[in-house]
Amino acid sequence: MIDPTAELSVSRQATVLGISRSSVYYRPRPVSDADLKLMHRIDKLHMEFPFAGSRMLQGLLVQEGFGVGRLHVATLMKRMGIEALYRRPNTSKPAPGHKIYPYLLRELPITRPNQVWAMDITYIPMARGFVYLAAVLDWFTRRVLAWRVSITLTADFCIEAVEEALRRHGKPEIFNSDQGSQFTSTDFIAVLAARKIKISMDGKGAWRDNVFVERLWRTIKYEEVYLRAYASVSEARASIGRYLGFYNSRRPHSSLGGKTPDQAYFNPLKPEAAAA
């Protein structure tokens, strides 16, 4: 897919292909077929029971005939970048130099495009392997403004997606994310701070704080990802790209008065029509 001998630089080839630059040089650790099967099943169970932690997921897997311990389930969940989603006291501390920002959206009326953007990352299973999908979503219209696929969980592919969204759509008043290391990294925060965008972060493990992105992941997975068995990263990216084009331009949303995200974004609805 990437040709080091080509006239285009490796970084430019990565940009054209829509993959993060760090992924080009990354050498993945092998994942056994047994673990891939477990990860694919954990992903579906997480979509169905987002409140389930490693203990509950291990119990559900054992019921289905998987011989797996709780610590192994927890290890795979960490590798997939998922955790149980529920409100709980935030007793964790950010990594040194990583600032956690307060959640700014509680009881805030969201009434127009580009008022609030949200971003998250999700695990995407393939036939033999997996990738991660990051997306920037306009909160009011549910429109996907930019997205990237990566084989790593580093911050760079998230930065690339945000920079594309800013380049193509201006800037939001508020940018909301979870407390993941990608979004609290110095480089990621610098992109937003340089444009004087207010930063909002979910309570740890609180799915309601970024509910529209969680709904987007559920929609993408049940309408696209779980119906496919991507043979390669490039196939996954192309197929997801086609689906997101459909999602933005043709898929009507009842919360948008039957309009598509594109129609709502470029021809804003009255605030009451977009109430969730």
Q: Is the pLDDT of residue 194 over 50?
A: yes
- pLDDT attached to residue 96: 56
Q: Give the model confidence (pLDDT) of 60-106 as tens digits.
A: 999 999 999 999 999 999 999 888 875 444 433 455 557 889 999 98
Checking DSSP bridges between strand 174-177 and strand 144-150, what pairing results, if any?
unpaired
Cα within 13 Å of Cα(103), Cβ side: 16
Q: Is the pLDDT of residue 165 over 80?
A: yes
Which of 52, 21, 181 is closest to 9 using CA atoms? Answer: 21
Q: Give the model confidence (pLDDT) of 235-247 as tens digits.
A: 999 999 999 999 9
- pLDDT attached to residue 8: 57
- pLDDT attached to residue 235: 96
Q: SS in 3 state form for the chain?
A: CCCCCCCCCHHHHHHHHCECHHHHHCCCCCCCHHHHHHHHHHHHHHHHCCCCCHHHHHHHHHHCCCCCCHHHHHHHHHHHCCCCCCCCCCCCCCCCCCCCCCCCCCCCCCCCCCCEEEEEEEEEEECCEEEEEEEEEECCCCCEEEEEEECCCCCHHHHHHHHHHHHHHCCCCEEEECCCHHHHCHHHHHHHHCCCCEEEECCCCCHHHHHHHHHHHHHHHHHCHHHCCCCCHHHHHHHHHHHHHHHHHCCCCHHHCCCCHHHHHHCCCCHHHHCC
Q: Is the pLDDT of residue 206 over 70?
A: no
pTM: 0.78
Buried b (16+ CB within 10 A) or exposed e, 57-79: bbebbeeeebebebebbbebbee
Q: Which two tokens stand for residue 144?
A: 């996907």
